[in-house]
């Protein structure tokens, strides 16, 4: 009696690549060690053919299948089929449930092999760099896709990311990955499929980044005021974006005020919260006499969200988009590495308004508060220092 399992596996754990007909004879020495504790991934092309009449082969298959089931709980697997061959009705009944157990398809592979235009997925490779989502590169006979998954996120998170990417794409000013599909994972979680952009390891010209970002700010405007078409996230923190006519009201209520409430709820930091409330009262004075029009912002522009393609042109990704004061884009400049060529090129397109340097800490405060909420009290001193500066 022969059992053949043919499946394609995508996700974060690393699976031992078993060549066709190799079965599981290397299971004890290789497969278990590779599966346990690794956050890398390879493609399991063929799990092999084993003879269930042999007790050793049967046990190897049984234990290996249990490991695959456990990994399947952590990340989606696309099972092409479980085929049972042989005369024994007992064996056929014994293993028939495996088809049912693993029959739920991987919607990512289904889209790529359907609407995505591919007929074959060649390999799936993990892509590092993120701390919130699991990212993989899908190489197919039709091209390459970039896929992010999150087992704890609703589709609304990736829908908001797609909306931001499409908004930036619409300005035709700077390169961003084109979103292709957002959907739900089996059981729980969600995914986004987008264009894969090959990055250059040698970097690019910061002046191009500054110039193209300024063009996006100048071109991307909104008649609805400040906010965005939907709420999104900054890191994993919710970011409310209701349409608001006045920038001071928006920044006070939905940026600084919102983060201060989270600090109070999470840490009971009364001192910072009370000082923050006093700062909110001073915002109209601190932002007076400015010409502020809604500009489309990336919203989370730090070095990890900036890259350069193979031609050396800038690419921005992982946005937290909204329409706001263009100067708020530089709130993450403390970990962005922008140099003089960047700012010089930017202000040639979007002229600098008087007091820019004095206002910068005010926009950095939003992101310091968010880091305090996300990562803990090591960011508290920076928050207090900025607040005290303006009181």
* Backbone torsions φ then ψ of 131, nearest 5 degrees: -115, 0
CB 160 within 8 A of CB 190: no
Q: Which two tokens stand for residue 27?
A: 């299971």
Dist. CA 293–CA 217, nearest whole Å = 10
Is 300 assigned a catalytic role?
A: yes
- 224: closest CA among 199, 201, 250? 250
The length of the chain in residues reads 391
Cβ proximity of 236 and 374 under 8 Å: yes
Within 13 A of 294's CA, how many CA atoms are on the CB side? 19
As given in the structure block, the two tokens for residue 326 are 């263009």
- Cα 140–Cα 144–Cα 148 angle in degrees, nearest 5: 110
Give Cβ neighbours of residue 83 (< 8 Å, ≥ 6 apart).
3, 4, 5, 6
- Please name the residues in contact with 43: beta carbons below 8 A apart, sequence gap of 6 or more: 8, 9, 10, 15, 17, 121, 123, 124
Record the tokens describing residue 28, joined without a space. Answer: 């004890």
C-alpha distances (whole Å) from 211 to each of 66, 107, 303 are 54, 39, 17
Q: Which of 300, 309, 318, 340 is catalytic?
A: 300
* CA gap 244, 241 in Å, rounded: 8
Cα 110 to Cα 227: distance, rounded to the nearest angstrom = 35
Burial class (CB within 10 angstroms; exposed 0-12, middle 13-18, buried 19+) of 373: buried
Task: Say which DSSP state 69 is in.
Answer: H
Strand partners, 352: none
312: left (phi over 0), alpha (psi -120 to 50) or beta: left
Give the residue among 173, 176, 193 at the shortest CA–CA distance from 184.
Answer: 193
Catalytically active residues are 300
């Amino acid at each position: 009696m022969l059992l053949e399992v043919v499946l394609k596996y995508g996700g974060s754990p690393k699976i031992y690549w078993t060549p066709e007909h190799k079965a599981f004879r290397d299971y004890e020495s290789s497969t278990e060690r590779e599966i346990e504790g690794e956050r890398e991934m390879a493609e399991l092309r063929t799990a092999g053919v084993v003879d269930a009449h042999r007790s050793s082969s049967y046990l190897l298959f049984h234990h290996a299948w249990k490991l695959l089931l456990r990994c399947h709980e952590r990340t989606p697997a696309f099972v092409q089929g479980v085929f049972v061959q042989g005369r024994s009705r007992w064996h056929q009944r014994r293993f028939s449930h495996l088809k049912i157990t693993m029959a739920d398809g991987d919607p990512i592979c289904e889209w790529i092999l359907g609407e995505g235009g591919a007929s074959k997925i060649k390999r799936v490779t993990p892509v590092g760099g993120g701390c919130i989502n699991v990212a993989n590169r899908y190489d197919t006979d039709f091209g390459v896709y970039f896929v992010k998954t999150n087992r704890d996120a609703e589709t609304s998170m990736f829908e908001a990311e797609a909306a931001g990417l499409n908004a930036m794409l619409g300005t035709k000013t700077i390169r961003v990955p084109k979103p292709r599909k957002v959907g739900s994972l089996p059981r729980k979680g969600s995914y986004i499929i987008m264009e894969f952009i090959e990055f250059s390891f040698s970097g690019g010209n910061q002046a191009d980044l500054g110039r193209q970002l300024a063009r996006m700010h100048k071109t991307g405007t909104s008649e609805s005021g400040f906010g965005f078409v939907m709420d999104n996230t900054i890191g994993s923190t919710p970011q409310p974006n209701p349409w608001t006519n006045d920038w001071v009201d928006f920044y006070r209520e939905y940026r600084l005020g919102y983060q201060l409430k989270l600090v109070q709820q999470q840490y009971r930091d009364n001192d910072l919260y009370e000082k923050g409330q006093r700062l909110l009262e001073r915002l109209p004075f601190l932002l007076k006499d400015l010409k502020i029009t809604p500009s489309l912002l990336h919203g989370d522009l730090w070095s990890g969200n900036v890259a350069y393609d193979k031609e050396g042109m800038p690419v921005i990704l992982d946005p937290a988009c909204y329409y706001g004061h263009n100067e708020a884009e530089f709130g993450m400049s403390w970990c962005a590495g922008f140099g003089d060529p960047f700012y010089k090129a930017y202000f040639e397109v979007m002229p600098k308004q008087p007091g820019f340097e004095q206002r910068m800490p005010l926009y950095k405060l939003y992101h310091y508060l968010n880091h305090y909420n996300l990562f803990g009290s090591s960011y508290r001193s920076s928050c207090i220092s900025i607040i005290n500066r303006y009181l």
